[in-house]
Amino acid sequence: MTALSALIRRDIRIALRVGGGALIGVLFFLTVVVLMPFAVGPDLALLSRLGPAILWLGALLASLLTLDRLFMADHEDGSLDLITMSQTPLELACAAKALAHWLAAGLPLIVATPVLGLLLNLDMVATSAVALTLLAGTPALTFTGMIGAALAVTLHRGGLLMAVLVLPLSIPVLIFGVAASQAVIVGPMTFGAPFSILCALSLVSLVVGPFAAAASLRHGLD
């Protein structure tokens, strides 16, 4: 346990220091959301109808694009070798790194959601519904995105290729995340059903993600 908490603490510390990327994700989120009205027009009624979708797309892109360097940085400076050799199973180390990334880059997105909801003319209930679905859904994004980040190390390529690989995997999360938020705002579905599926997706990815990432990293060693 000390090993894992040490890893989590280190990753969060690096993300928050100078040169770390934790807050850039939020800035990206903000920018994407602000761009939307310029494309669809400033019609408040339309924006509030599209609001949950815009917020979800923004959060999806923000959390996946910041994942790019999750393993790459450790690979480049040799830390990944030592992590692989240690007594801590690589799967657990991957999970710890993803958790640290979610705490440093995913949680701020959820904190920023109310402000952005204001810009999109969402009321209190709608905003909290979106924030709640993001809270339940972003772990799934991080833990599936982690697989792409591990593949980026294996393939020695990051950036767009990773996005192309991972974005299709996150479609179910997007569907049920937006569905649950829309259910609160317009109905007719109940909030519970899509939200439960969203939670289930997060839990499944919590299990699958670390194993897939660790397997990919093991093969990528050279």
Partner 1 sequence: MSLIDLANPTRFLALTARVLPWLAAATVIMLAIGLYQSANAPDDYQQGATVKIMFIHVPNAWLSMFVWAVMSIASLGTLVWRHPLADVAAKAAAPIGAAFTFLALLTGSLWGRPMWGTYWEWDARLTSVLILFLMYLGLMALWRAVDDPSRAARAAAVLTLVGAINLPIIKFSVDWWNTLHQPASVMRIGGSALDKSFLIPLLVMAIAFTLLFVTLHLAAMRNEILRRRVRSLQMMQASRAAFSSEAGSGSRGQNASNEVGAA
Partner 2 sequence: MSDLKRGEMQLSGRGVTCVRGGREVFAGLDFAAVAGEAVAVVGRNGSGKTSLLRLIAGLLVPAGGRIALEGGDTELTLPEQCHYLGHRDALKPALSVAENLTFWADFLGGERLDAAKSLAAVGLDHATHLPAGFLSAGQRRRLSLARLLTVRRPVWLLDEPTNALDVAGQDMFGGLMREHLARGGLIIAATHAPLGIESRELRIGGAA
| Binding positions for partner 2, rule: CB under 8 A | 2-3, 5-7, 9-10, 13-14, 17-20, 76-79, 81-88, 221-222
Which of 3, 4, 14, 24 is the binder for partner 1 (CB under 8 A)? 24
Contact 116, 92 (CB under 8 A): no
Shorter beta-carbon distance to partner 1: residue 115 or 164: 115
At 159, phi and psi to the nearest 5? 60, -125
| Residue type at position 54 | I
Distance between CA 45 and CA 57 in Å, rounded?
19
DSSP-assigned letter for residue 104 = I
Shorter beta-carbon distance to partner 1: residue 80 or 116: 116
Distance between CA 2 and CA 209 in Å, rounded?
22
Shorter beta-carbon distance to partner 2: residue 161 or 221: 221
Structure tokens, 183: 């259910």
Structure tokens, 123: 């009321």
Within 10 angstroms of residue 8's Cβ, the number of other Cβ atoms is 19
The contact pattern for partner 1, residues 41-60, with x = CB under 8 A and - = no contact, is xxxx--x-------------
Site for partner 1 in 120-139 (CB under 8 A): 121
Pick the stretch among 1-9, 34-42, 143-151, 186-194 that binds partner 1 (CB under 8 A): 34-42
Distance between CA 146 and CA 210 in Å, rounded?
8
Counting contacts by CB under 8 A, is residue 1 touching partner 1? no
Q: Which residues bind partner 1 (CB under 8 A)?
A: 18-19, 21, 23-24, 27, 30-31, 34, 37-38, 41-44, 47, 118-119, 121
